[in-house]
Structure formats: C-alpha cells, structure tokens
Amino acid sequence: MSLRPFRSPLLLLVALTCAAAAPATQRVEITPDHENGIYAAGDDVTWTIRWKGSAPPPTTNVSYTVKRFDFSDIDTGSAALSASGEARVQAKLREPDALMIQVYVGKETAGASGAIAAPDKIAPSSPRPDDFDTFWESKLKELASVPPNPQLQKLDSGKENVDYYKIDFDNIRGTHIHGQLAKPASGGQKLPALLIVQWAGVYGLQKSWVTDRAAEGWMALNIEPHDLPIDEPESFYKQQFEGPLKNYWAIGNDDRDTSYYLRMYLSCYRAAEYLSQRDDWDGKALVVIGASQGGQQALMTAALHPKITAALANVPAGCDMLGPDAGRRGGFPQWYEQIHGKDPKKVHEASRYYDIVNFAPRIRRPVLIGIGLIDETCPPAGIFAAVNQITAPKEVILMPKSGHQNVENSQAPFDERCWKAWLPALRDQKSAPVEAK
C-alpha cells in the first residue's frame, strides 16, 4: 500500500507553485555515492548518472545543473556517457544545506537526485516568537467558547462491516468543519482513532479514505481543510479554487489573527478533541496523519493537542517560512513571497505564528517524517529546520530521488514505514517503532 490516498487529481497547487523536479518517466538514474544522501559539511558528493532509457545511450553529452534550494545554480555543465551509459558529476556541500542535480537530454529533464550536508545542524531561519504559546493559548480559548455541536449523518459505507457518517462541527467566527467518519460496525468495542488531514488544493473527500482505514480497525475521521461540503461535483471545487478560494494561502496573511490558516489549524484541533471525547475511543491511540499541507497540519496538531499519541507527516509543508532570510527557500505556501501588495514586514511577522518550525518544540509524542531531497515545493533544509526542534522520538525517512510527488514510487521508503510498520503497531496499542537513522 502507498500514500496514494493522500494525492488528489485536483491537486492544482503543484502547477501553480513550481515545476516538478522529476519528469513523469525518468530516462536516467542518478545515485549519490552516499546511498542515504547525507554528507558532512565540506564533503564532496559524487552522483553517478546511469542511462535507463529504452533506446541506446545518446552519443551527445547529457547536460546538468547543480543548484541550491534558493534556486541559485552552483554548477552547470555536460558529461559524456560511457559505452555502458554512465557518467559522474561532483559537487561540494560547503555548509549545512541541501543540493540537487537535474540532468537533461536535449531540452528535456531526464532525471534528478539530491544530497544534504549536516542535516542535524540546520537551524531555523528566525527565532521563535516570545509570545508564540500565549497566542495559541488565546486562540484555543476562542475555539473553546464555541460549542462544537457535532452533527452526524449515517450513510451507506459501501463496505461490509463498516459504518460511515458525514460529520459537521461549528468552528470560530461562524465557520464550520466538514468531514467524514468511519469505524468498524461491531458495537461496544473501544477503538484506536486516526485523524486524516488534507494536502493543499480545493477538492472533495473520497469515502474510501476513511472506510479503508475502518476496515483495518481504525475509527477514522477525515476533515476538509476548507469550510466546504465534502461531496460536491468536481466543477464546484474548481469554481471555488478559481473564485473565493483563489490563492487561499495568502488570504489574511498580513495579520496573525486573520490568516486563512487560523480556522484550518483550529479545525484540526477540534477534530482531535472530538475523537478524544468519544465513548468508543480506546484512550490509547490518537494518531494524526497527512502529506504536504496535511503533514503541516499533522505536526501542528501534535504540537497543540495533548492527547495526540503519534504524528505521521510526509513531505510536510509550512516549514521555515522565513527561509529566504537564511538564503534558502521556505516551504509551501512560501508566505515570504506571498505579499500581493501587502506590507512584507507584516506578512513575514504573521507567518512566524503558523510556521511548523515554531510548533515543533511542543511536540512530545513520536513522529514519522518523510523528506524528499529534490522537493522544490517543500525543500528539505526547511523541514530539517523544524525536525531539529523536535525532542520527542522521531524517525526521518530521506528520499534522495523524491520530489513533492510520488513519481515512479520514489516515496516508497516512507510508505513502507508508514503503512507496514507504524500504523499497524499504533493501531495494536504497541509503541511507535522508531528506527534510529
């Protein structure tokens, strides 16, 4: 099983924010001389380029670009493939940071790979606000002043021995939370709880995202990141994305009290609170999981809600928003650049209160995090800046050939640990199977 359920055909975000680093079908395989992609600062990294196209290797040179994740080129050049279809390119990792290489055949990208130096030394680009905890305590009080008023509508699950419900809650400032809940149909048993939060974009929820988990024994709650119904036609979500929710990540982003992400973050907290208060929760496993923007929400929820027992976040967004101040690109939604005529200082200041790097010190339970070393949407250095603030048990899965999407199963290392190790263990009330790397 893969993390494919956390990828949507309506993920319009990627096309709007960056080009994928890897092509749909790679024509070369690029391997760093350190298999895990990790180096010490000052080390040379040597990438081996191997032709894997169906035709013979080209007789002309392949070209390449080595760059940092601020998109500045470190080196460009060309390399001749040997008769066996191999070439090598070398670069130096001078400081704690990440590099990536892209290889081209003609004008087409043929493959990409990454490397990172001293990832455990990468620090946040700015200090944590002194009143960070006070701010979020005030927002949780605002949420608590609004009764949740959960409304459940039981519907056909389409799966034997699984109960399915649409669910709605009230949220701050007259907004609402919409989602779906599924659980094993046999009554009277106490169940482990799984909160599923969503990647970026505007789209509906698929029933199987919770019913498949319920069939595995979870009580699974999946919520929309937006105040929208969960099962409208695709055209509805397209209209929302092109209309009132266009560039939603920048709405209100020049004030910490008006950011669009405020209600989204509090939606996650309320959903976790609801699961923790259900009579059929087993009181032992309350896990939150997501990818990209969902990974961002998962780590935030683990930081804010005291009953979360583990968080699983693949290629999490929202890390190190002020990265450009340290010479590197921040993670989506790149609030540093999302100015749109506003005062940049206000946008940058507000972003600090939503940055996962500042939530991370609050995380007290085990986390599993996947990082793609060619991910230009959520660059690896920024995620490490957040990971390094987590003192709880943590397992980091580095994927040297993975961008933001699971191209050619490049995120299989995370999927393997997530679906075959962590979730089964947590569901069965075992300790998180953290592997030291």
Q: What are the pLDDT digits (tens) for 35-92? A: 999 999 999 999 999 998 777 887 778 999 999 888 788 899 999 998 888 999 999 8
Q: How many domains does the chain have?
A: 2
Kindly state whether residues 221 and 237 are assigned to the same domain: yes
- Which is higher by pLDDT, 400 or 306? 306
Q: What's the pTM?
A: 0.93
Residue-level pLDDT at 3: 40
In sequence order, the β-bridge partners of residue 116 are 38, 98
372 and 409 housed in the same domain: yes
In this predicted model, what pLDDT tens digit does every residue of 85-140 receive, in sequence order?
A: 899 999 988 889 899 999 998 888 889 999 999 999 999 999 999 999 999 999 99
- With both helix axes pointing from N to C terminus, report the angle between 132-144 and 260-277 in degrees, rounded to the nearest 10: 60
- Say if residues 21 and 111 touch (Cβ distance below 8 Å): no
Q: Are residues 74 and 154 in the same domain?
A: no
Is residue 6 over pLDDT 50? no
Residues 6 or more apart in contact with residue 256 via CB below 8 angstroms: 135, 262, 349, 350, 353, 354
pLDDT tens digits, one per residue of 346-361: 999 999 999 999 999 9
What is the pLDDT at residue 26?
Answer: 53
Average pLDDT over residues 230-237: 98
Asked if residue 2 is part of any domain, the answer here is: no
What percentage of the chain's residues is helix, strand, coil (to nearest 5)?
30, 25, 45
Which residue shows structure tokens 């056909």? Answer: 156
In this structure, are 165 and 28 located in the same domain? no
Residue 380 and residue 233 share a domain: yes
Q: Are residues 305 and 324 in the same domain?
A: yes
Q: Are residues 128 and 45 in the same domain?
A: no
* Domain that residue 153 falls in: 123-427
